[in-house]
């Protein structure tokens, strides 16, 4: 019996040990504010770098391919930043969905759609920033036959990346719509953010479904503006109003430790 008692006592951490474990848990938990900052930073940085992107110009197939090849380094930089920004958004909005409650079917469905949208956007980004420039670089020193083939290939790759981008925007907008409806059930600031998300996602969907196969620059800029508005609003929500569940869990652990 004494031996069993000693084992039982040794299995229970003392107050100091419990406090140390609680402190380490709190330090390792990603706070909601960090997710908000990541979303805001990703939104602003990606917008700046997208503005740096440009076309190569040219009239003949060779001139067009040379123009694209000449922008290879710039396009790789711009689209590498874009990929990093999409990953940051995925982290940030996963935190927002957890905050809204992943036990709610609409919130979980919204997160699933949004993350699939991120995958589609990364596919479009890789195609535009890496695949097409590399095809262009290879073709400008190739035979006329290979140049002609590469020129046609790039033409259809632009159609593919356009469709991938549209798919990504639609999935992300539907995910935003689901979260916005959840936010509308609250009051005050949260409800206002829900209204912003509702208007933003509605605008994105309307612009995409009303656009031709190749979106005009005006439609593209409006989509980016609508997304930027929602991203900054969601970031403000996460930074201003930290996760109450996380705070309560932290207080409970400290109470147990004391």
Q: Is 174 part of a structural domain of the chain?
A: yes
Provide the whole-model pTM.
0.81
Residue 130 located in a structural domain: yes
List, for residues 13-31, the tens digit of each pLDDT value. 444 444 444 444 344 444 6
Q: Give how far Cα 93 sits from Cα of 4, 57, 99, 163, 220, Å.
A: 49, 37, 9, 23, 22
Domain range for residue 161? Answer: 32-240
Domain annotation covers residue 1? no
Residue 248, in any domain of the structure:
no
Cα–Cα distances in Å, from 144 out to 73, 102, 122, 136, 141?
25, 56, 32, 13, 9
In a domain, 129, yes or no: yes
Q: How many structural domains is the chain composed of?
A: 1
In a domain, 258, yes or no: no
pLDDT digit string (tens) for 194-247? Answer: 999 999 999 999 999 988 877 777 888 889 999 999 999 999 999 987 655 444
Rg (CA), the chain: 24
Average pLDDT per block of 10 residues along the chain, 258 residues long: 43 43 43 91 93 84 94 95 97 95 95 98 96 96 94 95 95 97 92 96 93 80 92 94 50 48
Integer Cα distance of 202 and 183 in angstroms: 15
Asked, for residue 200, whether it belongs to a domain, the answer is yes
Kindly report each contact of residues 135-143 with a partner whose C-beta sits within 8 Å and lies 24 or more positions away, as own/partner.
Answer: 136/65, 136/66, 136/68, 136/69, 136/72, 137/69, 137/72, 139/65, 139/69, 140/62, 140/65, 140/66, 140/69
Give the pLDDT score at 174. Answer: 97
Residue 143 within any structural domain of the chain? yes
> What single DSSP character describes residue 186?
S
CA–CA separation, 198 and 176 (whole Å) = 7
Pairwise CA distance, residues 143 & 130, whole Å: 22
């Amino acid at each position: 019996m004494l031996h069993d008692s000693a084992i039982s006592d040794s299995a229970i951490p003392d107050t100091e040990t419990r406090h140390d474990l609680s402190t380490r848990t709190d330090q390792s938990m990603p706070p909601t504010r960090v997710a908000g900052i990541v979303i805001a930073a990703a939104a602003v940085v990606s917008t700046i770098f997208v503005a740096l992107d440009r076309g190569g110009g040219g009239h003949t197939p060779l001139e067009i391919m040379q123009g694209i090849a000449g922008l290879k380094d710039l396009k790789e930089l711009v689209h590498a930043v874009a990929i990093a920004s999409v990953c940051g958004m995925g982290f940030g909005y996963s935190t927002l969905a957890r905050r809204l409650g992943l036990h709610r079917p609409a919130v979980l469905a919204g997160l699933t759609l949004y993350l699939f949208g991120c995958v589609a956007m990364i596919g479009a980004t890789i195609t535009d920033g890496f695949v097409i420039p590399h095809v262009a670089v290879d073709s400008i020193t190739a035979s006329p036959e290979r140049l002609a083939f590469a020129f046609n290939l790039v033409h259809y790759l632009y159609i593919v990346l356009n469709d991938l981008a549209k798919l990504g925007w639609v999935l992300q907008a539907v995910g935003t719509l689901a979260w916005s409806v959840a936010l509308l059930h609250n009051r005050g600031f949260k409800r206002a953010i829900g209204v912003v998300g509702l208007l933003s996602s509605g605008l994105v969907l309307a612009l995409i479904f009303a656009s031709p196969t190749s979106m005009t620059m005006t439609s593209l800029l409006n989509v980016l503006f609508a997304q930027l508005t929602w991203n900054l609003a969601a970031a403000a929500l996460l930074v201003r109003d930290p996760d109450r569940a996380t705070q309560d869990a932290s207080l409970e652990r400290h109470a147990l430790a004391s």
